[in-house]
Amino acid sequence: MNNLLPQSIQQPHIIAFDLLMKQRLEEIGMNALLVYMIDTVDESALYFLAKQFDVLGYNGWKLAHTDDKKRALIKQAIELHRFKGTVWSIKEALKTVGFPDATITEHVSHWAGFTVQLNIGNTPINADAINSALEMVKAYKNARSHLMGFEFKIEFESELTITDDSYEAPGDDYGDSLFMGGDFTYNGAHQHDGSKNYSSDTDILELTII
């Protein structure tokens, strides 16, 4: 019988066990054993790999809602932890979970202040996603830095009707600012004296919600 067992232990029950294990191992595909081939490993292993590489929770897993994002996060985990606390790590962490266009502005208000702007295009987003992204930034920033502002840039195509009691009304009690066709804010500080173009014939609208 063809086996590698030493002659001294080639007893019937040991040989039977050896044959059984050989059969079981042959039934297991090699791909299932290559758990660090992140692109091809079975999806059921991703959570445990994320736990091993410490990217669960707000380190990334909570925002990785697709299989591709989970794999990208795990593959980037070592570098993310190596450079944790840097602007690069914040941007890369956000990139792996679907925010590729993060803009980080440093030295806001003081030397340790910074702001983050995320361009989400026309992707729907809710309060939970906003809070998760905010917590992710906090997880990757360094301890001495202070997050001074967090913004989302949204792209959409739609008609907008502005009335006297809308966002641009000077006496509103809301924290919304509307920018149209210029770098000014409808906040009551500007006069309708011809110095500003208040025309709504532009196709670009930037809406900042504070």
Do the domain assignments include residue 177? no
Q: What pLDDT is attached to residue 194?
A: 59
User: Alpha-carbon distance 91 to 83, whole Å?
Assistant: 11
Q: What pLDDT is attached to residue 69?
A: 92
pTM equals 0.58
Q: What pLDDT is attached to residue 187?
A: 59
Do the domain assignments include residue 199? no
User: Alpha-carbon distance 205 to 141, whole Å?
Assistant: 31
Do the domain assignments include residue 99? yes
Q: State how many domains the chain has.
A: 1
Do the domain assignments include residue 208? no
DSSP H or E segment with residue 177: strand 176-180
User: Alpha-carbon distance 147 to 141, whole Å?
Assistant: 9
Q: What pLDDT is attached to residue 58?
A: 92
Q: Which residues of the chain have a pLDDT value below 70?
A: 1-5, 8, 29-33, 156-210
User: Alpha-carbon distance 179 to 168, whole Å?
Assistant: 9
DSSP string, 41-97: S-GGGHHHHHHHTT--GGGTGGG--SHHHHHHHHHHHHHHHHTTTSHHHHHHHHHHT
Do the domain assignments include residue 132? yes
Q: What pLDDT is attached to residue 196?
A: 58
Do the domain assignments include residue 182? no
What is the span of the domain harbouring residue 51? 11-156
Q: What pLDDT is attached to residue 5?
A: 66
Do the domain assignments include residue 186? no
Q: Tokens standing for 38?
A: 């992140």
- Residue 71's closest CA among 123, 106, 36, 103? 36
Do the domain assignments include residue 172? no
Cα dihedral 121→126→127→128 (10° resolution): -110
